[in-house]
Amino acid sequence: MNETLDIRFLLVIRESESLLAASRKLGLTPSAVTQRLQQMEKKLSIRLLDRSARQLRFTDEGEFLCLRGAELVEQFDSLLADLQERRSGFVGKLKINAPFGFGRQYVAPAVAAFQRLHPEVEIALSLSEQPMVEVTDRFDVVIHIGELRSSNLVCHSIAANRRYVCASPAFIEQHGLPEHPDNLTTLPCIALRENNEDVTRWHFTRARKTLNVRIRPALSCNDGSVIRQWACEGHGIIMRSEWDVADALADGTLIRLFPGWKLPDANIVALTHQREGLPARTVNFLRFLKDQFATQPPWRQ
């Protein structure tokens, strides 16, 4: 145990710009930090820091100890987490990634509610405009909306969600009500840029007929709330998820276009790195999400 404390102490110094900054992080005096460092060097018979440099600079041996020590500390923490999890099943860290809009409106409240039920679980929620691009950061759960491209991740269904093409009453009054998706090629459209996808190709189906329309967006943005606002203000036609525009369609702020044509569904899914062997906190969070949305998604109530 003492060895892991020494390694943690050394890692704090390595992450700091100076011994003074390290002492502040550790809650110790600079002299106490220096004394403890000297004790470690004496015990190991190795010089860990080059004190002749103006800035903190570790020796080769010090760098080696930090590198291997960080791995050992991570393994030790994982071991303790596993032991605690065997006891209660609801402890440890849970890292979640979700898209900005859906994450703010639906995932964030669900995360807070889950953590309230299980206060020993530490949850870190990250919102991103490109969650599928940043998945390499090893999140425990990634919330994704829409088609899942080629991926090694495991998909867990959370909720059904359609896509609609919409415009405001003011836009329709100015440009007329388009009767066919082909009309989109000559009308101002608004595109949402996300996950490095081709956002200018809108795919429609009706019965057995398929239709691909290439729009030329007058406006585009990487934030769904912005393009929705632009559409409500009459700047163009948008294609948006049902979860985002259901309220606007209900109160008449937006009007659905081409109701006889269907766009690809954009179902809500949760992605994990494996199906088996997930920690209890992850399994129960996925179950909690499904209970929140699957029976009757809030955007359909």
Per-residue pLDDT of the chain (301 residues; tens, 9 = 90+): 467 888 888 888 888 878 888 888 888 898 888 898 888 888 889 888 887 656 778 889 888 988 888 888 888 888 877 776 655 567 788 999 999 899 999 999 999 999 999 998 999 999 987 655 545 457 899 999 988 776 788 999 999 999 999 999 999 999 999 999 999 999 999 999 876 677 899 999 999 899 999 999 999 998 899 999 999 999 999 999 999 999 999 999 999 999 999 999 999 999 998 888 788 889 999 999 999 887 788 898 7
Cα dihedral 131, 132, 134, 140 sign: positive
**How confident is the model at residue 242, as a pLDDT?**
95
| Euclidean distance between CA atoms 205 and 258, whole angstroms | 11
| Euclidean distance between CA atoms 63 and 11, whole angstroms | 10
**How confident is the model at residue 194, as a pLDDT?**
74
Q: Are 94 and 141 in contact (CB under 8 A)?
A: yes
Q: Are 207 and 190 in contact (CB under 8 A)?
A: no
Q: Are 61 and 107 in contact (CB under 8 A)?
A: no
Q: How far is CA 39 from CA 23, 32, 47, 147, in A?
A: 16, 11, 11, 57
**228: closest CA among 248, 210, 252, 212?**
248
Considering the four listed CATH numbers 3.40.50.620, 3.40.190.290, 1.20.58.340, 1.10.340.30, the one that applies to the domain covering 163-257 is 3.40.190.290
**How confident is the model at residue 27, as a pLDDT?**
87
Domain boundaries of the chain, sorted by first residue: 2-86, 89-161+267-300, 163-257
Q: Do domains 2-86 and 89-161+267-300 have the same CATH topology?
A: no
Q: What is the CATH number of domain 2-86?
A: 1.10.10.10
Angle at 46 between CA 45 and CA 52, to 5 degrees: 130
Q: Are 147 and 264 in contact (CB under 8 A)?
A: yes
**How confident is the model at residue 1, as a pLDDT?**
46
| Euclidean distance between CA atoms 38 and 284, whole angstroms | 47
At the fourth CATH level, the homologous superfamily of domain 89-161+267-300 is Periplasmic binding protein-like II (3.40.190.10)
Residues 6+ apart with CB under 8 A from 74: none
